[in-house]
Amino acid sequence: MAKAAALRKPKKKVNPLDKDGITYIDYKDTALLRKFISDRGKIRARRVTGVTSQQQRQIARAVKNAREMALLPYTATAR
């Protein structure tokens, strides 16, 4: 039983940026960036978002720039 779970094939994620043809991640595009942060305001992990490591770095930088300009929260007190 446990063996079967360990061998479970992970579902291949589609890259959400490649799908929409986005090449430049703009810190002003909060609608896009919100897809990559949790409802708590934390940046989602790459294993969750399914983007490449280069894109993940660009996302992280864009989110941090957006936070500095109060476009996105540092923390959100959900619950």
Partner 1 sequence: MRHYEIMVILDPSLEERTVAPSLDTYLNVIRTAGGSVEKLDVWGRRRLAFEIDKKAEGIYAVIDLQATPAAVAELDRQLRLNESVLRTKVIRPETR
Residues that bind partner 1 (CB under 8 A): 24, 26-28, 58, 65, 67-74
Q: Nearest approach, Cβ of 72 to partner 1 (angstroms)? A: 5
As a whole number of angstroms, the distance between CA 33 and CA 51 comes to 13
Residues 6+ apart with CB under 8 A from 73: 41, 67
Q: Nearest approach, Cβ of 73 to partner 1 (angstroms)? A: 4
Cα within 13 Å of Cα(32), Cβ side: 18
Q: Measured from the CB atom, is 3 or 75 closer to partner 1? A: 75
Q: Measured from the CB atom, is 13 or 64 closer to partner 1? A: 64
Q: Measured from the CB atom, is 15 or 30 closer to partner 1? A: 30
Q: What angle do CA 21, 47, 56 make, to 5 degrees?
A: 50
Q: Nearest approach, Cβ of 16 to partner 1 (angstroms)? A: 19
